[in-house]
Structures are given as structure tokens and as C-alpha cells.
Structure 1
Amino acid sequence: MNVAAVQLPAENAPEENRDRAVERVRDAAERGADLAVLPEMWPVGYFAFDAYDDAAEPVPGSTTDRLAALADELSIHLHGGSLVERDGDDLYNTSVLFDPNGELLATYRKIHLFGYDSEEATRLTPGDEICAVETDLGTLGLTTCYDLRFPTLYRELVDAGVEILLVTSAWPRERLDHWHLFTRTRAVENQSLLVAANLTGSIDGVDLGGESVVVDPWGVERANAGTDARTVLAEVALDEVRETRESFPALADRQL
């Protein structure tokens, strides 16, 4: 299968961002993508915290309806990145996954909200459930940005049967070394494929890192988007996960 990480610029321009995301996902599908992954909070650019309240919408809502129609049109699995979800009086950082018929397969409310040099933890409500979902591509696990720093979350996903880890992110450029460390480590220690889509560019004084990646179960980066707004594809196979786990049974050897 072909997987795509769609790297978008960080801009607080929701309508333009929606048009851009649709265009880029359509291009990924034309290039053969079976699964496309969008970045974190791409409609508002993540660090535009003052825009969260106005940008918030229910799920399903206008943005997810458009993504659902796109997945159906292109007949691909689409991880729609994340957006500001409004549910009653609470706001969440919520990511969404659609199947090739446009059905909303899963939502994931980010568990670990970022508080360092960020207002996310004060403006949003954390989620409290992991998200593992069976699909025709394999069992997928949804995670978001700061989650990468919490290995127990990923181990819970693997224990739930996950074979492909998906990460939607707005990772800053100043900690880009950590981005590569954690994406590779989470793939290796869980013997899983990992697809991570990051924002790029700058917003509200913060430079985003870009370098969206596809990582195999041995920690090899099979694709890297660099720092420009672009989409990268990589051909991977679910058998890579199963063969790695069988030939080097680190997961089976766990004692704790």
C-alpha cells in the first residue's frame, strides 16, 4: 500500500486551508495513496490560540463533512488531521479517520495537551480514551503530536492490536531533533509502521518543523517531506510489521 503524509503550512485562514487540504489530498490520491494523513489543527495553524473559539465546530460538522465527501470521492482512507471540536461547553483537539466510503470510522481526542509555551492545556479539555481501529489496511492507532513523548500510550495501542501508528502534529522546529527521535523510537519499540504529518512554516512567532515522515518497524525513515509544504508518499506493507515481530520477537519477550 502507499501512504502519504500531507505537510501543510501553518496559517490562520480556515477556508483557504480547507481548499488547500482538499487539493493536496486529491493530488496524493492521484499519485496512488491508499491512506493520506493531515497535520494537527491545520484549519487554524495550532499556535493561533485566540482563533480556537471561533474555529470550533462539532464532529460531524462542516469540515469533517467535506473530508468525508473527499474520502468517498477518492476511495481512500483519510486521516483528516485534527481540528478544534466543540462539544457543549468543552473544546477538544480531535482527529478524525474516514474509510474509502466516507464513513467516519473513528475520532480521537488528544489525551496529552501541551502546556509548555502553549495555551492548549488551558483552553482545551483532554481526551481520556485511546483509539485503535480495524480497517482494510490493518489496525490503525491515532495519536497527536505531544503524545509522542508518552510511550505508554503507544504500548497500549499495540496491546490493542495496532500495526500502523498515525501521528498528526504541529511540532516546532526548535525541537526537531526530538521529532525524529520519538517518531523512530515509537516505531522501533512497538515494531510498527508509523506515518507522521507535521505542519510547516510560521505562525504567531512559532516556526513549525515540517519533515513529515514515514518510518518502518526498524526505525528507517522511508520518506521525509523536508521543510517545504509538500506531500511525501512511501510504499509499505503490513507484512513488514508481522515479519518484524516474528523474526525479532521483542514484543513477545516482554515481562512487564
Structure 2
Amino acid sequence: MPESESPIHERKVATTKAPTYKVAVVQMHPKPMQPDRNFATAASDIRSAALQGAQLAVLPEYHLLNWKPDDPKFKFECSRWKTYLDKYRALAKECNICIVPGTILELHDADTPDERLLNVAYFIDNTGEIAGKYVKKNLWGPIERLHLTSSARDEHPVFDTPLGKVGMLICWDLAFPEAFRELIAQGAKLIIIPTFWTLSDCSPAGLAINPVAEGLFLDSMLTARCFENTCAIIFANAGGPPGKGYAGRSQVCLPYVGAVTRLGSSAEGMAVVDLDMQVVEDAEANYQVRADLARGDWHYDYRHNTDKPVDSKL
């Protein structure tokens, strides 16, 4: 069949114009075990983003405490989680801006057999209300699995927000295409991913081949996920001083475009950009990924290993 007659060239661009949102991605260097200082830094960035007209600001994973589970004060600080959640709710209302405050570590039922440490991302709308929350599902190796409780078989939720239907993932969730499929099947067109991803997450063998292999992983995977799910992604990672293993690369991504903006690996930074959701609609009109998933005869089944019990502590 001649190229001009190929069915793919008969797909039409959406005729209804989708909105453009102004969003801020904040890259922080979380000072270990200094939540008040880290909150003050985040609040300053959020106020600056609001003054620039941003409708949403996204922070990194572990932005309040860094990741120091062996510190003697770690559990106590995690027990104060509601204090900071309430502060972010008040800040969102004050600044008339939606906030995803990275992740907040929550200690529940401390010093009991039911003790759980959860890694939670919230979407707070511009009135200070909580539009949704997500507990990290895919925990990173023994580093997290020794301490955190996964959301296990809970569904990946999608939320109605002032920026449309939004899904949230956290860090290592990025490596699982099933998570994205579950979100877009529920209508999410924007996926937000707070992250604490370092270059030293790579094995010695991988580092010997490419010292910045994890940076390649992030840049490649984020672009691929946008294309294969016809969605937009806001990815907020921690940054840090050179030579300390921080990956940075916080970015906003779209299909066709790739990274609309990408920060380096430096400790602190913020980008406020226009997120044109029409690009998402145009990509879907071309690739028809969502349309295929909505068909009753679609043939992929992502319920892997349904015959095996799930350990909720993973």
C-alpha cells in the first residue's frame, strides 16, 4: 500500500483544543533530617512558582528528610507527617496553587505489631483540599523493602483535579509499564512522578560501563512512557552536589517533544513551563493507544502471577 494510503495517515488530529497548563517542577537537595529547613526551601519555591502563574508545583520524593532510616530520630520525624501535610494544604490555599509535595513518609501504629511506614504522594488542589493520595507500590530493593510497606495489590488510583484526570507514581514505579497502563485505562492524561533516583542506584558492573547509566535510563524511559501511553509526565527528582551521586534531571515530558524542560544534576533548581495538553490529544489521535485499550477484545492481561500470594510487607 502506498504511504499516502496507509491507515495511519488517515487518523485525524483532534478538533477540540485541549488546555495548556503552567506547571513548576522543583528539584531540591533534601538536607538529611532537617524537615523544617527543607519545608522552608520548598515553600519558597512554591511561592515563587505561584507568582510566575504556575497552576501546579511538584516536589521530589523524600524531600523533607532525605532517606536516613537508620538515624535515631527518623521514626519520630516520620510520625510528624500530618504537621507537614497540613502546612502544604495551607500553602496551596494561600498561594492558589495545586501542590504535589513530593512524598511524605508516614509512620502509622508506631511500636505495635501493625507498625507501618508508608511513602505517600498527595495531590493537593488550589483550595487546600486533598484530591487524591498514592502509596508507593514498587519498592527499591532491600534499601526500601526492609523499612517500607508497599500498597501491594491496591489499584493505582486516578484523581479528578483542576488539571484534569491525574495519576501519580513514585520513583521505581517508573520501571513498570503495567502501572502506566492501569492509569491511562482509567483516563489519566497527566502522570506525576516524585523521585529520589541517584546515579549510584546502578550496580558496579553498570557504572564501569557507563558512570551516568541511570541518567540514560531516566531520559530514555520518560520519553518512551510518554509515547507508549500518549500521556504527559512531570518528573521531580532530587539533586545534589557534584560527585555525590545525585542524578537530577527533573523534567516535564510530552510525546512528540520529549523533555519540554530538563534540569541538570545540580542541587537546587526550578523550571516553570507551559504544558500543552493538545500534544497529548494529537499523539492519541495518531497512535490510538487509549482507543485500543478501551476495546472489549483487547488481548493483553497484566495480572501477572495471580496464583501466588502477595507479601504486603514488600
Compute the TM-score of the two structures, normalised by the length of structure 1: 0.92
> 1:127 aligns to what?
151
Aligned to 1:221: 259
> Which range is displaced more, 235-244 or 79-88?
235-244
Q: State the partner residue of 1:73.
A: 94
Once the two structures are superposed, the pairs formed by residues 33-182 of structure 1 within 5 Å of their partners are: 33-46=54-67, 48-51=68-71, 52-57=74-79, 61-88=82-109, 89-115=115-141, 119-128=143-152, 129=154, 130-173=156-199, 174=212, 175-182=214-221
Which amino acid in the other structure matches residue 123 of structure 1? H
- What is the identity percentage for the equivalent residue pairs of Structure 1 and Structure 2? 27
Partner residue, 2:226:
187
What is the deviation of 1:96? 1.0
Are the aligned partners of 1:58 and 1:87 in contact in 2 as well (CA < 8 Å)? no
Distance 1:221 1:84 in 2: 29
SS in 2 for 1:84: strand
1:61-111 CA-partner distances (Å, limit 9, x unpaired)? 100001001110111111111021122210011111100000111111100
SS in structure 2 at match of 1:165: strand
The answer on whether the counterparts of 2:23 and 2:272 sit within 8 Å (CA) in structure 1 is yes
Structure 1 residue aligned with 2:202 = none
The 2-side partners of 1:122 and 1:3 are apart by 35
Q: Which amino acid aligns with 2:263?
A: A
Matching residue's letter, 1:242 = E
Query: What is the CA–CA distance in structure 1 between the aligned matches of 2:218 and 2:122, rounded to whole Å?
Result: 22
Alignment check: 8 A CA contact 2:185 2:290 kept: no
CA contact (8 A) 1:70 1:102 kept: yes
Q: Give 1 or 2: higher strand fraction.
A: 1
Which amino acid counterpart does residue 187 of structure 1 have in structure 2? Answer: C
List, as ranges, runs of 4+ consecutive aligned residues in structure 1 with deviation greater than 6 Å: none
Aligned counterpart in structure 2 of residue 11 of structure 1, from 12, 31, 34: 31
- Structure 2 CA distance, aligned partners of 1:187 and 1:58? 36
- The number of residues matched between the two structures is 251
Instruction: Give the unaligned 5+ runs of structure 1.
Output: none
- Pairwise CA RMSD: 1.8
Q: Does structure 1 conserve the Cα–Cα contact (< 8 Å) formed by 2:222 and 2:253?
A: yes
> Using the alignment, how far apart are the partners of 1:170 and 1:132 within structure 2?
22
Q: Whose radius of gyration is greater, 1 or 2? A: 2
Structure 2: unaligned runs, 5 residues or longer:
1-20, 110-114, 200-211, 301-314
What amino acid sits opposite 2:187 in the alignment? G
Provide the C-alpha distance between the structure 1 equivalents of 2:80 and 2:228, rounded to a whole number of angstroms: 35
Which residue in 1 is equivalent to 2:285?
Answer: 246
Change in 2 beyond 3 A, CA 1:58/1:142: farther
Moved more, 62-71 or 235-244: 235-244
SS in 1 for 2:131: strand
Secondary structure of 1:126's partner? coil
Deviates further, 240-249 or 94-103: 240-249
What's the offset of the Cα at 1:36? 0.7
Mapped pair 1:209 → 2:247: yes
Which sits farther off after the overlay, 48-57 or 230-239? Answer: 48-57
